[in-house]
Chains A and B, each alone.
Chain A
Amino acid sequence: MSDALQSLPRFLPELILMGALAVVIVADLLTQRRPLKNSTDLLNGITLVGLLGALVTSWQALGAGEAQSLFASMLADDGLLGVFRPIFCLTSIVVLLLSMRSKELEGVRLGEMLALLLTVTAALMWMAGSVNLVMIYLSLETVSVASYLMVGYLSSDRLSNEASLKYILFGAVSTGAMLFGLSLLYGMTGTLDLYGVRAALAEGTFGPGLLFVLILVAAGIGFKIAAAPFHFWCPDVYTGAPTPVTAFLSVGPKAAGFAILIRFFYLGLAEPAGGGAIAPVGGADWQMLLMILAVITMTLGNVAALLQTNVKRLLAYSSIAHAGTMLMAACVLSVEGVQAIAAYLAIYLFMNLGAFAVVILAHRVTGSFEIGSYAGFWKRSPLLTVAMGIFLFSLMGIPPFAGFLAKWYVFAAVINAGLGWLAVIGVLNAAVAAFYYVKILRVMVIDEDAGPAPALAFSRLDLALLVLLVVPNILGLLFWGSLDRVTEYSQTLLELG
């Protein structure tokens, strides 16, 4: 009991989110009965305040105090959780702003959507913090179930429903496989605690049996981060879901999936080997497993993206490719790889959500997600074209944009770990990726629109949103300072326990 009470102050961002969730649900019920003139604004406002509160408290918590385990060693409040919390809050804030401007969600009651968004944000934090097999499974399923509902939110839209069904079937099978793997791991080690698992595995050699378990667990985590060959749901779900939800799925659960991956493999299946490095225990070569996943994921994502004509599908494959790049950093087996993943995700958030923001704003006027419909955008709206250019160049990893910094972190970590061949495959993939990103820009700038094309008008909110997303991409190099703070702090990850 006293343990739980002592944990509460370290749990403040999640508590704020839960409070906002309760208020949103009640406010939604009340305004359903007696609608106000601006009840949507009221609900959006409450959600925004909750998310901002969580962002501020999680930013303050970053670097303050020692690492500590919470709630009877279910969660660990350490560097890794500290780094990921602000990422989740920022993602949800941007997604909330996007959903206000999305044409697909216009005229739809958003109360439940906002409640789901707050739930998922808190559950993402639990995922990043969990150090117990039960908690890993529980938080992962909380995120999944809420995301299934968000994907299928447009209940009269066939594509939204179909995407949701595909998502839940793939999701349930892969988390089911993961659960089977976790149950076998429990049998091998006799404990559910990740530190206990590590201690038990260090005492013996488990070989092929352990590898089988790891493949099953990789299916569950791979589903969350959309890594090949567990990615089949990804293009369909991204296309069918309302675009703000797609934007959320491409960043939030992916980031949390990486947090779980780091927790499970770096904490549960490896022991500190000095100097920030770790050494796998239990006699299963999971570094090779992750390297295979990274290479397949990068290559498949980039090659398939070349063939796409729908911009949401293209961004789906591009997000698969980015997951592959981050998986490369996960093969490094030292704290440097963890830092690279955290830095990559912090930058990826702004560039990928930025690209989705442009897609949503363009959809308001064109009503289409086909790349062909972007023809003549340079004349219709230079502003939107320039913004898209910045996001795409950043996604490509071209200096001076922030995406270059992200790729720099990953490749530096991979090369320092002596995995030169992996870095070469990564660079080749980055070259392939440039083709399809440039394709979008080419259509926007060079292709002529067939009909008469009126100039696009944007509201103040649109401009604010674009500025919010563009500035971090341009000022990536100035970002370096705060990123160093983030990455330095994540060193504490491997010191706990």
Chain B
Amino acid sequence: MIPLEHYLYISAALFSLGVFGVLTRRNAVNVLMSIELIFNSANINLVAFSRFVEGALGGQVFALLVIVIAACEAAVALAIVMSLYRVMKNVNLDEAAELKG
């Protein structure tokens, strides 16, 4: 059987990749994809712990809820990106900088 540590390495790597993507990408859609990586790294953790910790099924339920919420959030985020595209004609985060100071 694959030991617990291997799942945790994968999820830590995914989390770091997600944070790296959020910090470096300038396209709003790419940033949203990186955010999905962060959510899914947490999901891997939850399911792995639920598998290895005695009598703890809650993690799997939690992971299902996270998937649903991530979908809601992605839907709202893409709607906002579309709406911004209509007024700005691109989705580059560097150009969405009218608000600052």
Which residues of A does B touch, CB under 8 Å?
Answer: 133-134, 137-138, 141, 144-145, 148-149, 152, 155-159, 161-166, 168-169, 172-173, 176-177, 179-180, 182-184, 186-187, 190-192, 235-236, 239-240, 308, 310, 313
B3 at the interface (CB under 8 A from A): no
How far, in angstroms, from A110 to B73 measured CA to CA in the complex?
22
How far, in angstroms, from A168 to B80 measured CA to CA in the complex?
9
A172 touches B88 (CB 8 A): no
Determine which of B38, B48, B58, B96 lies in contact with A162 in the assembled complex, contact meaning CB atoms within 8 Å: B96
Given contacts A158-B98, A176-B18, contact A192 B58 (CB under 8 A): yes
B87 at the interface (CB under 8 A from A): yes
Scan residues 57-95 of chain B and give those whose CB is less than 8 A from a CB of chain A: 58-59, 61-62, 65-66, 69, 72-73, 76-77, 80-81, 83-84, 86-88, 93
Given contacts A165-B84, A176-B18, contact A133 B62 (CB under 8 A): yes
A159 touches B59 (CB 8 A): no
The residue on B at minimum CB distance from A236 is: B99
The 5 closest A-B pairs by CB, nearest first: A176-B38, A183-B45, A187-B49, A236-B99, A190-B53
How far, in angstroms, from A226 to B88 measured CA to CA in the complex?
28
**CB neighbours of B42 from chain A (8 A):** 176, 179-180, 182-183
**CB neighbours of B73 from chain A (8 A):** 141, 144-145, 168, 172
Most chain B CB atoms below 10 A, which of A149, A156, A157, A172: A172
Given contacts A169-B31, A187-B49, contact A192 B62 (CB under 8 A): yes
The residue on A at minimum CB distance from B81 is: A165
The residue on A at minimum CB distance from B47 is: A183
How far, in angstroms, from A155 to B93 measured CA to CA in the complex?
18
B87 touches A156 (CB 8 A): yes
**CB neighbours of B65 from chain A (8 A):** 134, 137-138
CB distance from A242 to the nearest CB of B (A): 14
How far, in angstroms, from A176 to B66 measured CA to CA in the complex?
10
Given contacts A158-B88, A180-B38, contact A313 B58 (CB under 8 A): no
Determine which of B53, B83, B99 lies in contact with A152 in the assembled complex, contact meaning CB atoms within 8 Å: B83
Given contacts A162-B98, A187-B49, A190-B49, 19 further A-B contacts (CB under 8 A): A137-B69, A152-B80, A158-B87, A164-B84, A166-B99, A169-B28, A169-B77, A173-B22, A176-B35, A179-B42, A180-B15, A182-B42, A183-B11, A183-B43, A183-B49, A235-B101, A308-B101, A310-B101, A313-B101
A180 touches B45 (CB 8 A): yes
How far, in angstroms, from A394 to B69 measured CA to CA in the complex?
40
Interface of A is mostly: helix
A149 touches B76 (CB 8 A): yes
**CB neighbours of B84 from chain A (8 A):** 158, 161-162, 164-165
CB distance from B47 to the nearest CB of A (A): 9
The residue on B at minimum CB distance from A173 is: B22
**CB neighbours of A172 from chain B (8 A):** 32, 35, 73, 77
CB distance from B30 to the nearest CB of A (A): 11
Determine which of A148, A176, A180 lies in contact with B80 in the assembled complex, contact meaning CB atoms within 8 Å: A148
**CB neighbours of B10 from chain A (8 A):** none
The 15 listed contacts between A and B (C-beta, < 8 Å) are A134-B62, A157-B87, A161-B83, A161-B84, A162-B88, A164-B83, A169-B35, A172-B35, A176-B38, A180-B41, A180-B45, A183-B42, A183-B45, A184-B45, A236-B99
**CB neighbours of B41 from chain A (8 A):** 180
**CB neighbours of B54 from chain A (8 A):** 190
Determine which of A137, A173, A187, A236 lies in contact with B38 in the assembled complex, contact meaning CB atoms within 8 Å: A173
A187 touches B66 (CB 8 A): no
The residue on B at minimum CB distance from A152 is: B80
A164 touches B87 (CB 8 A): no
B99 touches A159 (CB 8 A): yes
B99 touches A163 (CB 8 A): yes
How far, in angstroms, from A177 to B18 measured CA to CA in the complex?
10
How far, in angstroms, from A191 to B98 measured CA to CA in the complex?
45
Scan residues 1-18 of chain B and give those whose CB is less than 8 A from a CB of chain A: 8, 11, 15, 18
The residue on A at minimum CB distance from B57 is: A192
**CB neighbours of A190 from chain B (8 A):** 49, 53-56
The residue on A at minimum CB distance from B100 is: A236
**CB neighbours of A166 from chain B (8 A):** 96, 99
How far, in angstroms, from A161 to B81 measured CA to CA in the complex?
8
**CB neighbours of B56 from chain A (8 A):** 186, 190-191
CB distance from A448 to the nearest CB of B (A): 26
**CB neighbours of B32 from chain A (8 A):** 169, 172
CB distance from A125 to the nearest CB of B (A): 18
Most chain B CB atoms below 10 A, which of A137, A155, A168, A176: A176
The residue on B at minimum CB distance from A133 is: B62
Given contacts A166-B96, A186-B59, contact A138 B88 (CB under 8 A): no
A177 touches B38 (CB 8 A): yes
A168 touches B99 (CB 8 A): no
B98 touches A187 (CB 8 A): no
Determine which of A133, A145, A155, A159 lies in contact with B83 in the assembled complex, contact meaning CB atoms within 8 Å: A155
**CB neighbours of B101 from chain A (8 A):** 235, 308, 310, 313
**CB neighbours of A134 from chain B (8 A):** 58, 61-62, 65
The residue on A at minimum CB distance from B35 is: A172
CB distance from A493 to the nearest CB of B (A): 24
